[in-house]
């Protein structure tokens, strides 16, 4: 698998790697690069070993920016746009990537042109695996043979980008973030990475099953997309969440439909979903910050209110949690 990324307007190659060679497969290399011009800033973190490539990119650009992405060989791609309005340029029809969706695809020998509009900061994360790496990684997993995605790969049947889009939940978001950060000890990094990748693919399989159930809940595809967009927006902005009215304007759905269909699809109200996200994040902050700092990070204006919510959710206060 060969992978390359070039920015057209600045004539700059961000990375160019051949991952099919005879390099030591259990050593994960890591590089962080920064690029800056008067109108453009970029930070790119890549991790790679034989058959695997992980990238986490941040762009800020005052002019339109074009990324020409080339991959040679069979590959599996799992990607996520956390911020931005990027779209794929096609001879037939341009495709909006869509913020807050996990895109899964299986393809071979592709050149993809991605346009990042001016004044729209972009955060993009992606994992690329060779077919060999993917099959070796999951060969002992009993559940894998039931997945549609696996069947496409084992049969050599391409699943083009955009054909498999899934809403991201907190669990998926956390796994993907952990994989792209890769903050593990170097000697054990490859083992931790493979474990988290297995968890990621299992979570994607379960998410796909849930999405199929949602389609059977009586919603049109257009309605379901709007609810998914609302869910993704909250996932990215739960520390400073919009009001129901603001969220309804963002997804172009009236407030009543938004509240009703969100609960129908996700089994919880918008308010309880925001609380759940905040509390899951709060637990990861215990012991690393003071209670007051935690409240501020999570967007609570009142520290007592944060403490009350935390205790109601977990059965103990943040201070008690620090002593456990």
* Phi–psi pair at 62, nearest 5 degrees: -90, -5
The reply to whether 189 and 275 lie within a common domain is no
Question: Which band of pLDDT confidence, cut at 50, 70 and 90, is reported for residue 228?
Answer: confident
The reply to whether 306 and 207 lie within a common domain is no
Q: How far apart are CA 126 and CA 323, in angstroms?
A: 38
State whether the Cα torsion 202-108-29-104 is positive or negative.
negative
Res 232 pLDDT > 90: no
The reply to whether 190 and 305 lie within a common domain is no
Comparing 187-201, 217-231, 235-249, the range with the smallest average pLDDT is 217-231
The reply to whether 91 and 21 lie within a common domain is yes
From the number of C-beta atoms within 10 Å of its C-beta (0-12, 13-18, 19+), residue 43 rates as middle
Among 182, 212, 242, residue at a domain's last position: 212
Give CA 311 to chain center in angstroms.
30
CATH number at residue 122: 2.60.120.10
The reply to whether 97 and 181 lie within a common domain is yes
- Could you tell me the two tokens for 188? 């054990």
The reply to whether 49 and 118 lie within a common domain is yes
For residue 274, what pLDDT is reported? Answer: 94
Instruction: Give mean pLDDT, residues 138-157.
Output: 88
Among 212, 235, 253, residue at a domain's last position: 212
For residue 219, what pLDDT is reported? Answer: 72
Res 82 pLDDT > 90: no
DSSP conformation letters of 256-317: HHHHHHHHHHHSS-HHHHHHHHHHHHHHHHBTTB-HHHHHHHTT-S-HHHHHHHHHHHHSS-
Q: How far apart are CA 111 and CA 164, in angstroms?
A: 19
The reply to whether 9 and 106 lie within a common domain is yes
The reply to whether 186 and 240 lie within a common domain is no
Among 175, 192, 212, residue at a domain's last position: 212
Distances in Å between the Cα of 286 and the Cα atoms of 107, 151, 171, 281, 313 are 42, 42, 19, 9, 14
pTM: 0.76
Summarised one tens digit per residue, pLDDT across range 31-74 is: 999 999 999 999 999 999 999 999 999 999 999 999 999 999 99
Instruction: Give mean pLDDT, residues 129-142.
Output: 92
The reply to whether 138 and 264 lie within a common domain is no
For residue 50, what pLDDT is reported? Answer: 92
The reply to whether 108 and 235 lie within a common domain is no
Residue 166's beta-bridge partner residues? 102
Q: Which residues of 172-206 are buried (b: 16+ CB within 10 A; e: fewer)?
A: bbbbbebbbebebeeeebbebbbebbebbbbbbbe
- Mean of per-residue pLDDT scores for the chain: 88
Identify the domain containing residue 176 by its residue range. Answer: 2-212
Q: How far apart are CA 132 and CA 171, in angstroms?
A: 27
For residue 153, what pLDDT is reported? Answer: 93
Nearest to 274 by CA among 245, 309, 315, 225: 309
The reply to whether 186 and 243 lie within a common domain is no
Tally of domains in the chain: 2
For residue 32, what pLDDT is reported? Answer: 93
Summarised one tens digit per residue, pLDDT across range 171-182 is: 788 888 899 988
């Amino acid at each position: 698998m060969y992978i390359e990324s070039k920015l057209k307007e600045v004539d700059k190659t961000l990375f160019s790697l051949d991952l099919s060679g005879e390099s030591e497969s259990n050593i994960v290399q890591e590089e962080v690069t920064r690029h800056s011009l008067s109108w453009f800033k970029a930070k790119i973190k890549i991790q790679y070993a034989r058959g695997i490539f992980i990238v986490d990119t941040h762009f800020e650009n005052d002019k339109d920016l074009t990324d020409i992405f080339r991959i040679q060989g069979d590959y599996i791609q799992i990607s996520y746009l956390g911020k931005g309005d990027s779209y794929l340029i096609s001879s037939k029809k341009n495709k909006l990537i869509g913020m807050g969706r996990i895109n899964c695809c299986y393809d071979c020998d592709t050149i993809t042109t991605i346009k990042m509009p001016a004044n729209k900061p972009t955060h993009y994360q992606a994992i690329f695996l060779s077919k060999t790496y993917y099959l070796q990684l999951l060969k002992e997993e009993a559940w894998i043979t039931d997945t549609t995605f696996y069947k496409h790969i084992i049969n050599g049947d391409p699943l083009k980008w955009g054909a498999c889009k899934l809403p991201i939940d907190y669990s998926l978001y956390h796994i993907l973030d952990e994989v792209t950060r890769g903050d593990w000890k170097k000697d054990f990094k490859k083992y931790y990475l493979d474990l988290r990748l297995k968890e990621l693919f299992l979570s994607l399989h379960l998410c796909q099953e849930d999405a199929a159930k949602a389609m059977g809940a009586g919603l049109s595809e257009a309605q379901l997309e709007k609810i998914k967009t609302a869910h993704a927006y909250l996932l990215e902005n739960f520390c400073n969440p919009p009001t129901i009215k603001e969220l309804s304007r963002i997804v172009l759905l009236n407030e009543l439909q938004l509240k009703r269909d969100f609960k129908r699809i996700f089994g919880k109200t918008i308010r309880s979903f925001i609380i759940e996200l905040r509390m899951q994040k709060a637990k990861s902050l215990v012991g690393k910050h003071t209670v007051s700092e935690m409240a501020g990070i999570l967007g609570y204006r009142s520290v007592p209110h944060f403490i009350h919510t935390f205790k109601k959710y977990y059965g103990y206060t943040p201070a008690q949690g620090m002593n456990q």
